[in-house]
Structure 1
């Protein structure tokens, strides 16, 4: 019987495990975290509790010189379900032009015509994608205020046009989170060999072929063998495993004493991410109220072009029914947040190892806001969010007043605010870019170039980040990746 190891039980990995097992492959699914027993995972109102928890890898960037010298927190799921167990469940396919660009620039076979049917199949199969849920009163007013600001109301941003303000489509059923682990892998868990709480150190490569993985290190090392190895550990976890395996830039590996198996300069490069910056409001006429069980604290977002001539929206504010203080000093306990969002970043960063061991943290550099165009777009989004908060649906109905940035920060000083407050939108991609050129880490069938029997199937292969949340594209990559594995 054909056998495969899938590393990571997150969005892509859970799908790959299910599809391979259904096809008769003996699958070993390895997850560094534990099972999703934390009740906060399943209640959408409690997602904020999961940051810095046992289910969060709790990564931080190196200091970001263009973002106030701060180290940005990058939450990533360390649990069955992966980051889909921690996120806001928002389902965004992205723009057709995103995928046509992938195809045009070397990821052949990944055009919109290729991927759109896969999205449609996912949404009509195991994973519920819905906007059929009641809006919180503050969320309904935010949508109304955005329309008063001049944005169109878009009833289906996944229908081909992103622009406008919309109720979010989410993966939720009966007030509970549904992710690819619970929808795909968990129902057939008895068909899988599942190892939890086991961290993969590296891939075992013999004579140019991946034959298994090493769990743990030193005297605790255990080897698991299979015909094929599929890395689905995400845009941070996957390149880290490749680098510890000796697959990466030879000079960096040599410097750390890691034997070079394959000089692959693209591993860890091309890192980029969407960014957010908060605009927080208090309400003087009536309270928003605390989060309610089974109700997500974000239910709406918008897509908007910060300047004329753009082919697609470059901003995507996400709207929260709570004040998202983050590192800011709380000023009250009630309110709402219009979180300005940048979704077409030009800045590109990198990921490197600091040492060869499991305990050595990766040096993650997003190069956040390094490109001035990113700061300009995010600042424009903040200004728009400020304007929305002054519209009658919020200012008059709720008595909304801006708490942050606050009236002492004029619009022409918003760029400084953005650089001091920008945080991740949780959408890191690109560190194992697919393509047809010499720098591409994987080919368009997601095979690691230069190593047989090894594929990468997760968000790290995205050449450029799609316009919108990355969970849906990661699921699509999981489905297509499984097909590629089965095709041989």
Structure 2
């Protein structure tokens, strides 16, 4: 074995986001030493902790602020992808909505070759994380690290959204994480006592005094260190120098859908031809790394308000609707979200006072790729989600726009609505709306899939999250998801962390 320099712990967790924070906590609780290596900074910006501060974090120093390559099915526009560059990862930037997805999402994972990931297997993991304001029930947990609250004083326009959807015949849902998901209601949120409860604040901040924990921030991982086919550590840049950190048991990549795949590729683990093209020496020819990139898509149905809106008391994202383009589906495929602020549609006017109904799809069929731009780890990867490449995605998003316009035109909004700004009254036909979607489509910020788990030739990790062809290396974050759950991805990513910690501890 070669001589090592630097610190050594039982486990090395790369990335302090939604999954990595959970893994670090569970391994510490089990008596192991853990080194968390995070590229971002400490979460000491007050805007992180204010539930209404998230719009100010977008394109701030706490945001990777990535851009896709031009999207040929979306008027060759490059899409902005915010990703958290801070302790807590994107759970420190997101809208704090706590939604798990539909049971059929997870049953589909299991059916496709990932036993142990079916709904009945993962529901206890969701519940284990929770400290739900309602207490323990068949659907929720009590006493876990993650506080989950209800919207108790909804904004009047968020309430109008619910009222408008009910007037159109949609079912009222008290809890999107309960027995039924399809319908309209108010969100549950990762907020407690008026403060954002990120994965880091919930799982790791309470145990920062544990002497078995080391946290290194501002550490940009370049590659995984290998010895005899086994991962033994990582090389990272920090403070203008290159360092190495080692783990005696396992290395766990939790850098997210972009960071984990990029790290594997820079380590020579990925499609051999691509690695050779960019000048990276091939360690393991693993063709699925960077494949299967996909995301929830949305646009903004923007309204100018007749008067200034009062301030809200929660997360600016208080109500939403889950609906389906076909009642025969086992779960929803549309997720219109209400925002009591203007979330601009690209290239459309931005009114001074307004609100947004965001038509969104949650079961996209389009798939794309993540590739290295070069062998330089400082260069952002090439992100090509290939949005709207499947006709279903375009048509479902147009369906969602039509649904949102129906809601926005209801009497419940008469006291607030001055005019529709996007897509605007000139958009009358379905072809007009298709053009609007291509012109304005954006993201729900729910990217997944680049290190997909499975047992086929394009799987990157097995159902135990072990990287195929490498000993001592796992990936645990949204990148392992074969398909994106039909809802916000923060809660599912936390569940992946819970599942990963069980798998790691079972092997220790």
With the shorter chain as reference, the TM-score category is: over 0.9
**SS in structure 2 of the partner of residue 203 of structure 1:** strand
Alpha-carbon separation, structure 2, partners of 1:373 and 1:153: 27
- 8 Å Cα contact 1:102-1:464 kept in structure 2: yes
Structure 1 residues 25 and 331, CA gap change in structure 2 (3 angstroms): closer
Alpha-carbon separation, structure 2, partners of 1:216 and 1:264: 26
- 8 Å Cα contact 2:151-2:187 kept in structure 1: no
Aligned with 1:161 (options 146, 166, 180): 180
Alpha-carbon separation, structure 2, partners of 1:328 and 1:92: 31
- 8 Å Cα contact 1:276-1:425 kept in structure 2: yes
Q: Which residues of 2 match residues 172-191 of structure 1 at below 5 A?
A: 172-191=191-210
- 8 Å Cα contact 2:346-2:439 kept in structure 1: no
Number of aligned residue pairs: give it. 484
Alpha-carbon separation, structure 2, partners of 1:419 and 1:150: 29
Alpha-carbon separation, structure 2, partners of 1:307 and 1:402: 27
- 8 Å Cα contact 1:434-1:463 kept in structure 2: yes
**SS in structure 2 of the partner of residue 230 of structure 1:** strand
Aligned match of 2:134: none
Aligned with 2:440 (options 421, 425, 429): 421
1:103 and 2:103 correspond:
no
Q: Which residues of 2 match residues 21-420 of structure 1 at below 5 A?
A: 21-123=28-130, 124=142, 125-191=144-210, 192-216=213-237, 220-227=241-248, 228-284=250-306, 286-289=307-310, 291-292=311-312, 295-395=314-414, 397-412=415-430, 413-420=432-439
Q: TM-score, normalised by structure 2?
A: 0.93
> Can you give the 5+ residue segments of structure 2 that lack an aligned partner in the other structure?
1-7, 131-141
1:16 and 2:23 correspond:
yes
Deviations 1:239-259 (A, max 9, x none): 000000000000111111211
- 8 Å Cα contact 2:220-2:238 kept in structure 1: no
Q: Which residues of 2 match residues 438-477 of structure 1 at below 5 A?
A: 438-477=457-496
Deviations 1:49-89 (A, max 9, x none): 11111111111100001111100011000000100000001
Deviations 1:411-450 (A, max 9, x none): 4211110111111100000100001222211011111111
Deviation at 1:361, TM superposition (A): 1.5
- 8 Å Cα contact 1:306-1:380 kept in structure 2: yes
> Can you give the 5+ residue segments of structure 1 that lack an aligned partner in the other structure?
none
Alpha-carbon separation, structure 1, partners of 2:296 and 2:418: 27
Alpha-carbon separation, structure 1, partners of 2:17 and 2:41: 12
**SS in structure 1 of the partner of residue 149 of structure 2:** coil
Deviation at 1:132, TM superposition (A): 4.4
RMSD of aligned residue pairs (Cα, Å):
1.5
Alpha-carbon separation, structure 2, partners of 1:484 and 1:332: 50
Alpha-carbon separation, structure 2, partners of 1:330 and 1:52: 20
Alpha-carbon separation, structure 2, partners of 1:331 and 1:178: 31
Q: TM-score, normalised by structure 1?
A: 0.97
